Amino acid sequence: MSGINEAVVLDALKGVKDPSKGEDIVALGMVSGLIVKDGNVGFAIEVDPRQGEAMEPLRKAAEKAVYDLAGVTSVTAVLTAERAPQGGAAPAQQAAPGRTSAPASGPGGAMIPGIRSIVAVASGKGGVGKSTVTANLALALARLGLKVGVLDADIYGPSQPRMLGISGRPTSPDGKTLDPMENYGIKCMSMGFLVAEDTPMIWRGPMVQSALQQMLRDVDWGELDVLVVDMPPGTGDAQLTMAQQVPLSGAVIVSTPQDIALLDARKGLNMFRKVDVPVLGIIENMSVFVCPNCGHESHIFSHGGARREADKLGMEFLGEIPLDIEIRETSDDGRPVTVSKPDTPNAQVFLAIAKRVWEKVSAQSGAGRQAPKIVMQ
């Protein structure tokens, strides 16, 4: 028992004064978005956008005040600022980089207001369960109490609307930004909402990039702790450019046991290395076969190979998801196990993976993280 809760954290933050106002940051109403989870603490400090960098010592002092509490294992404090009231194309939100996860910053350093971290879910090829994992991972992150969004960047075969059980079209109340769709408490944007699922789409490179940028920046995501991106399958140029264009905090690679043996995971790892995005780990999907009749587990593909391969590549092995008809039926039916059968072993596997992913995202140093650069080799 860590004994850490929101009240204890707020109490500690009452000892931190805004020097320009002479009062503590809690009394001034500057603390928002406080999350306390198993000793990991995250919160935002609202500041005047014009003060920006000048408030960095205050942010550090707030982090230290909380970090000094017994039972706290990590602290993420970020500076945020309200949008300029008159609006305009470029939101006037500002934030200074945090010790841990800074708000997502985009190409050229442009911020994505309100989005604290972005995690890509990628795979070496299609059909390995990347979308299924994305949906369940996102829902599991939400179960941890986080504000979660899903960006379906798999524009060649968008499946998040179906997996998350969302239909209809997003609306734009102001004619400029789209409201994301929502179900099970998470927000979602997908090309699948805008184009009929059975319409074949021929995308040209620039169209892909602008569609992605629009789904990222012209959607009113609001405040998100984490945006989970369902990447298009593969590790080619299109995926590389995409990984470079989205200010990713990290990536997870989904692979089946036989693909791991075929070194697909290595391709994914190399792709993210090129764009300087940390790989949070690998998830082995369709790992063991659980017989729907008797519950017997058979290891169709060699078991343990993924873990060994991940070790060899210096990647964390985040967990293994069984090949189970329950997973297929529920996700294809718009009610993924994580929400429809939250107490089953399958849902628990996703929950454990989500915990670890969030631990890594929030503990990872985001200081000064800017647009990833392509490294020529």
Compute CA distances 176 → 88, 89, 119, whole Å: 10, 9, 26
> According to CB under 6 A, which one of 94, 159, 160, 362 is a site residue for ligand ADP?
159
Residue whose CB is less far from ligand ADP, 248 or 321? 321
> According to CB under 6 A, which one of 17, 83, 303, 328 is a site residue for ligand ADP?
328
Interface characters, 174-203, with ligand ADP (x: CB under 6 A):
------------------------------
- Token pair for residue 57? 């010592």
> According to CB under 6 A, which one of 244, 331, 338, 340 is a site residue for ligand ADP?
331
For the chain, counts of helices (H) and of strands (E): 12, 14
Residue 189: name the closest of 223, 224, 213, 153 by CA. 153
> According to CB under 6 A, which one of 127, 222, 292, 368 is a site residue for ligand ADP?
127
CB 267 within 8 A of CB 235: yes
Residue whose CB is less far from ligand ADP, 9 or 286? 286
Query: Nearest residue by C-beta to ligand ADP?
Result: 129
Q: Work out whether 332 is an interface residue with ligand ADP (CB under 6 A).
A: yes
Give me the least distance between CB of 130 and ligand ADP, in Å please.
Answer: 3
Q: Work out whether 121 is an interface residue with ligand ADP (CB under 6 A).
A: no
> According to CB under 6 A, which one of 144, 166, 188, 286 is a site residue for ligand ADP?
286
> According to CB under 6 A, which one of 97, 114, 124, 129 is a site residue for ligand ADP?
129
Q: Which stretch binds ligand ADP (CB under 6 A): 111-119, 141-149, 266-274, 327-335?
A: 327-335
**Four-residue CA torsion sign, 59, 65, 67, 72:** negative
Q: Work out whether 40 is an interface residue with ligand ADP (CB under 6 A).
A: no
- Token pair for residue 357? 């992913």
Residue whose CB is less far from ligand ADP, 186 or 286? 286
Residue 87: name the closest of 245, 223, 220, 188 by CA. 220
Label residues 133-153 b or e (16+ Cβ within 10 Å = b): bbbbbbbbbbbbebbbbbbbb
What's the CA gap between 14 and 7, in Å, rounded?
11
CB atoms within 10 A of CB 19: 10
- Rule CB under 6 A: which residues touch ligand ADP? 123, 126-132, 159, 233, 285-286, 321, 323-324, 327-328, 331-332
